[in-house]
Structure 1
């Protein structure tokens, strides 16, 4: 019911939005800035949206302004649909200057008598932030405010949202320092807040309008990088590069043909020790090939420093970079050639150069065009040496090769001890089990657990035991912890990591585990909850290796095939979303259609009904056998409801054809009882099957997207509507006085297979409408079934889709 309410509200909201200006504000609103939304009024309270400039004063007559929604969280607004922004002097309503650079989702409009002196949205798509560049009129100076109207939806908007005052400094041309070095000095009024504002502006647009690389790993999502660089296209050509480094003397970005230092073009932002005014200088340099050293170029061209600030150990700079530069006879064309980005930062300088990058050094994992905006994830060092010097096993799928696993473990031999490393995202624990088979039970497990309340540290390592059936569970009781040693552990932004060592030979619950001599299956699990003496359910991920191998067999483990699991899901969707939906409708509403035709001596409706329901029977039983083979026993507690309902569905499906086989002859006293029983069992099985498919979406092992629920909701609504229309069509037919349509199969009408009167040789009224509805039903059911089967077969779908898109890009 909740889903239907949401859908209805969205439809009504969409209908209201049609009346607004989804393609931008018209010039007629320039002065009042009030949207022409009928029967609405601006909000009176403080705006949840902010308008902020990149700096308290203009730089060379320009400044950037950002309109942004608050960060996601309780009470946060879900972005904004539209906006109108102008620059105005205090107490004035005329728009000043021009917007010289706007992103794709924005456009300029002309507020008379000026041109391009206001900016608005281009479409009604939801936006989290919009960043624009404003240029002051020539020879104008004084204070201005950016004033905006921000529209959340048709009825909710704020008018007159203002930025802090911005000082417009009259433009002047100054010569640069000798040698072509681009330099700027920090204004005396720069504060910590200015630095923080510049840093937040850098993060805005990462992945959508900027290519970003940061250190440490994952820091861009949390906006907490020690060093970060963002590259975006400039409106007049070339690229704008923003860099921040903390507790450093320099931060630098290199454009490289690979992920290592050598033959790279570098832009450095440097605070030099002899600069008493907290200035920042920018240089162009070259990473010498084969020596891993850096040398500044004599010719400092192809870039210019737009802004630079140094305060309390933080270096921030913004550089404009030409689209193409030539360094050491090598041309770097950022428009046409993809490059790896190298980010480095350090706390030491050398004469005429920078020192070692002791604060940060990361590279993007692959090459890309600078115009291909996305967050560039540096390679995770966990995967270095995987399946070359150490055994690695991760999930999902081939994530070890792509260096991006939801959970992963590695094993490295170190003499008489084995070193285990484990890592999992969005998890409270990660564990690796050594098993004689692919199923949980009688397994030795090593766990890494995040326990923030522990006085001795948030990361703990334990050994535990998987209790076999019938008490399938995990416990640390009576398991000695002397055989493992925690070497390192961390918990950052929901990602747990630990490194531990384990003795070569251990005995758990009377079973000896010899890591050097024996072979094992690997069981990898991660979950979000803990128990007092064990880990909780593995609701993040659980996978088993497809091979039994020695831990010293580097590269010997891959994820067990999920073919049986996916076949089970695909067959059940085909059976109950596809064949059953059509078979039930044929029997209920089409007995008095195509009455002059037959197939193998049987009425058309009966032939199709029998064929479709036989397919349901075969597909269901096959799917049930496949999942029993895959699971190897009864399921864990999280899957119990799905398994119980699935078993009930299979049982009802199994007995249905045998009931039909022994049905009484038409006219027999028990025929009515059979009709009711046949109707009840069939419909009960169908309803249970659909509910069971809904429950499958929640199963971690299925890896289905949560939005699949909405696809199923749409199918149910479509199917119910078809039923209602066909039922009304049956009532109209009966009132027409023609042959009555048997719309309720529990009624004891003439047999659909044996014509007892000549009157039946004529279709019931409105047969054409029923046929049209059947075509619509078939097309809808086939489309939904096909889509759902694709979701099941290619699960996890988002990952498969991303890989498909990447393969298209590489072609």
Structure 2
């Protein structure tokens, strides 16, 4: 019989303790299976539940802003005390619903991780390749080339077999359009653990929204500090997308900047002699490596408008305070009262300046990118030391440009083309100033189009003062359309006589120029919806699509009845083409109809139907024009409607 003594007891106790300590540290030795891609719950036997306490592990991206198609290092850290863990699983998910998995992981050189294929995508998740204890793991994640927005790395980390945390989140990482590589944290730099990070939201889990309290930024606006942001008058409603404030105490000039868009790559404030971009002193607040960096930059004049830090002294400002919470950028910067940049003096004490607030989603190598979130200059220059309420620069000319172009190309052009194509043999015998009715009203429509287009063209250049800096084909298409519109009436003045051999060439050229200009104008209006300054809603596209469908259907109906009107139109194609061309008043006293003369004092068949359909077309067309003009004039219409309710 085996006898226990103190030595044997201690030996057995060590075996038991070793067994107890060995079993819990084990995770699945070959990593998480792909069946848990959605839940990220470890498939551990025994029915163990995830821990509900604050996890002792950190998920740390090496930078908070990165460009499309670039590589980011992500560390899984064992907290501030280097706690061991055996297993893990990590994904990058879109911060917005439906929280899909984003990007790909690269294979690790140390072999401590293996890649997983979740949601039918390759290498978009990673897990441990062995269950040996480890204090940290580094992975490389490749950003998608077709994604803009914020991602959060979510991880499941198993400290022991029955002790694990699910969905540990990282700080948000902003994916932006960026041509330069992100700045990486040194290998030894670790972000301290922050238990107040955004909680993990599992896929398909419903979320609830609550009304946000007023932001403390607005406290003191108009009383102790001057505040200005966009959209215009947003400070009053406390609904700004980006806002800046000035606080002056003696010769101390402090500026606060904040962007409320969680996908912003920067927020900036410019000091300008006018309300246009160019030759301005700019303060930039840019997230970098989980912190905020402040820069001074200078905007060059036209034609290549851009902000650059090159040649701008960076010792004339000081970053006093900052925060980066849920992608919201905030910074407080103190400036020197006098700064000289490129031989230009900015004297904040003795000079008045317009405030230009801007925010965007992209960065450049030597400055901020385009202000695609928004930009607004103040209406008048101000003495920064005088606390006051500011309004934005007037957008009247911008709205008039859009309204005139819609009235011209959706309204009068569409009607004028319809009259010239289908009403040459209608209202026969009725003339105005010796001209057929169809020709008179066609000319009225086209002269109106020409006048509105030329005025709108001049207005937009007066408003912008230069070529548009947006990466949008709207401007170049608008110039081509305006040129075609400009030459149309000039060609009509010099049109050959009806019996001239050159008349057919004019007819086709006039028809082609008019229709091409009409099509280009509508395409140009579609591109206008994407312009930042226009502030048009995306659903305006559906109103334009509705107009196009209606316009095409009416043309098809008229074309069918035109074929019915011309006997044998399918066999005598030449006569059909002749009727459909722009004859511009060249019809003689008779028109050919199936080889027979149609008297000029008689309307062509189906005249009553054509007139009735024309009445319907004019009413519906007017509704489309009014709706589109209201959207343009009231833009941003969502904020306008919200403030009126």
TM-score grouping bracket, smaller chain normalisation: 0.5 to 0.7
Distance 1:564 1:753 in 2: 46
Distance in 1, matches of 2:535 and 2:324, equals: 25
| Other-structure match for 2:522 | 690
Measure, in 1, the Cα distance between the counterparts of 2:436 and 2:274. 53
TM-score, structure 2 as length reference: 0.65
Alignment of 1:252-263 (within 5 A): none
Equivalent residue for 1:539, pick from 347, 352, 372:
372
Q: Pick from 440, 443, 449: which aligns with 1:616?
A: 449
Tell me, yes or no, if the aligned pair for 1:396 and 1:405 is still in contact at 8 Å.
yes
How far, CA to CA, are the matches of 1:753 and 1:541 in structure 2? Answer: 58
CA drift of 1:574 comes to 0.6
The corresponding residue for 1:413 is 248
Alignment of 1:766 onto 2:603: no
Which of 432, 442, 446 is the equivalent residue of 2:269? 432
- Structure 2 Cα separation of the partners of residues 749 and 578 of structure 1: 21
SS state of the match for residue 769, structure 1? helix
CA positional deviation for 1:741:
7.3
In the alignment, what sits opposite 2:438?
Answer: 605
Match of 1:551 in 2: 384
Superposed CA deviations along residues 74-131 of structure 1, whole A, max 9, x for unmatched, are 389xxxxxxxxxxxxxxxxxxxxxxxxxxxxxxxxxxxxxxxxxxxxxxxxxxxxxxx
8 Å contact from structure 1 (residues 433, 524) kept in 2: yes
Residue 770 of structure 1: how far off its partner (Å) = 2.0
Q: Is the 8 A contact 2:488 2:513 kept in 1?
A: yes
Alignment of 1:661-676 (within 5 A): 661-676=493-508
Offset from partner CA, 1:43-65 (integer Å, 9 cap, x none): xx99x99xxxxxxxxxxxxxxxx
CA offsets 1:589-642 (integer angstroms, 9 cap, x no match): 111122132333321211111111111011111111111110011221424x21
| Aligned position for 2:175 | none
Shift of 1:522: 1.4
The equivalent residue for 2:98 is 72
User: In 2, are the aligned partners of 1:736 and 1:765 still within 8 Å (CA)?
Assistant: no
- 2:384 and 2:568 mapped to 1: Cα distance? 78
Counterparts of 1:405 and 1:804, CA distance in 2 = 17
- Length, aligned pairs only: 451
Q: Give CA deviations for 1:369-397 in whole Å, capped at 9, x if unaligned.
A: xxxx9843311110111121111111111
* Pairwise CA distance, 1:192: 13
**SS of residue paired to 1:702:** coil
Contact 1:394 1:409 in 2 (8 A): yes
**8 Å contact from structure 1 (residues 591, 741) kept in 2:** no
Seen in structure 2, the aligned counterparts of structure 1 residues 222 and 617 have a Cα distance that, compared at 3 Å, is: farther
Instruction: Report the TM-score when normalising by structure 1.
Output: 0.52
In structure 1, the residue corresponding to 2:600 is in which secondary structure? helix
Cα distance between partner residues in 2 of 1:75 and 1:763: 67
* Residues 232, 376 of structure 2: 8 Å contact kept: no
- Counterparts of 1:340-359 in structure 2, within 5 Å, are none
Q: Could you say what secondary structure the match of 1:409 adopts?
A: strand
Mapped partners of 1:587, 1:748: distance in 2:
8
Cα shift at 1:747: 6.6
Give 5+ residue unaligned stretches, structure 1: 1-44, 50-69, 77-190, 197-220, 226-372, 806-811
Deviation at 1:697, TM superposition (A): 0.4
* CA drift at 1:442: 1.1
Helix, strand or coil at the partner of 2:459 = helix
Would you say the 8 A contact 2:470–2:531 is kept in 1? no
Give, in angstroms, the shift of residue 752 of structure 1: 4.6
- Say yes or no: does 1:448 pair with 2:281: no
| Cα contact 1:675–1:745 (8 A) shared by 2 | no
Query: After alignment, is 786-795 or 710-719 more displaced?
Result: 710-719
Partner of 2:401: 568
Find the aligned partners of 1:772 and 1:693 in 2 and give their Cα distance: 29
Q: 1:733 touches 1:741 (CA, 8 Å); kept in 2?
A: no
Q: After TM superposition, give the deviation of residue 222 of structure 1 in Å.
A: 6.8
What is aligned with 1:591?
424
CA positional deviation for 1:744: 5.1
8 Å contact from structure 1 (residues 588, 745) kept in 2: yes
Is residue 559 of structure 2 the alignment partner of residue 727 of structure 1?
yes
Q: Is the 8 A contact 1:429 1:528 kept in 2?
A: yes
Shift of 1:766: 2.0
Q: Distance in 2 between matches of 1:784 and 1:743?
A: 32
Asked whether the equivalents of residues 589 and 742 of structure 1 are also in contact (C-alpha less than 8 Å), the reply is no
Distance 1:749 1:586 in 2: 11
CA distance in structure 1 between the partners assigned to 2:383 and 2:564 by the alignment: 73
Whole-Å separation in 1 of the counterparts to 2:638 and 2:359: 20
1:779 equivalent in alignment to 2:619: yes
User: Aligned pair 1:526/2:363, yes or no?
Assistant: no
Q: Any conservation in 1 of the 2:589–2:600 contact (CA below 8 Å)? A: no
Note the 1:212-611 alignment, pairs <5 A: 375-424=210-259, 425=261, 426-452=263-289, 457-555=290-388, 557-611=390-444
Contact 1:606 1:753 in 2 (8 A): no
CA deviation map 1:255-292 (0-9, x unaligned): xxxxxxxxxxxxxxxxxxxxxxxxxxxxxxxxxxxxxx
Q: Structure 1 residues 507 and 722, CA, compared in 2 at 3 Å: closer, same or farther?
A: same
CA apart distance, 1:445: 0.6
| Residues 755, 557 of structure 1: alpha-carbon distance in 2 compared, 3 angstrom cutoff | farther
Q: Is the 8 A contact 1:603 1:752 kept in 2?
A: no
Deviation at 1:792, TM superposition (A): 0.3
Deviations 1:285-326 (A, max 9, x none): xxxxxxxxxxxxxxxxxxxxxxxxxxxxxxxxxxxxxxxxxx
Match of 2:115 in 1: none
- Cα distance in 1 for partners of 2:217, 2:578 equals 64
Contact persistence 2:267–2:360 (CA under 8 A)? yes
Q: Take 2:334 and 2:200, find their aligned partners in 1: how far apart are those partners?
A: 32
Q: How far did 1:755 drift? A: 6.4
Residues 679 and 745 of structure 1 are in contact (CA less than 8 Å); yes or no, is this contact kept in structure 2? no
Counterpart of 2:480? 648
Change (3 A) 1:570 1:576: same
Partner of 2:533: helix, strand, or coil? helix
Q: Deviations over 1:450-496 (max 9, x none)?
A: 123xxxx5210000011122432211012111111111112222321
**Whole-angstrom CA distance in 1 between matches of 2:587 and 2:464:** 43
Shift, 1:583, TM fit:
0.5
- Is the Cα–Cα contact under 8 Å of residues 591 and 742 in structure 1 kept in the other structure? no
Please state how far the C-alpha of 1:776 moved relative to its aligned partner. 2.8
How much has 1:675 moved relative to structure 2?
0.6
Matches of 2:101 and 2:619, distance apart in 1: 42
Instruction: Report the alpha carbon displacement of residue 750 of structure 1 after superposing the two structures with TM.
Output: 7.3
Aligned to 1:361: none
Unmatched tracts of structure 2, length 5 or more: 1-34, 40-95, 103-162, 169-196, 202-207, 592-596
Whether the 8 Å contact between 1:504 and 1:515 is mirrored in structure 2 is yes
> What's the C-alpha RMSD, in Å, of the aligned pairs?
3.2
Task: Provide the C-alpha distance between the structure 2 equivalents of 1:556 and 1:799, rounded to a whole number of angstroms.
Answer: 20
Q: CA, structure 1 residues 629+411, in 2 after alignment: closer, same or farther (shift >3 Å)? A: same
Structure 2 SS opposite 1:607: helix
1:796 aligns with 2:636: yes
Q: Distance in 2 between matches of 1:749 and 1:684?
A: 18
Give, in angstroms, the shift of residue 437 of structure 1.
Answer: 1.5
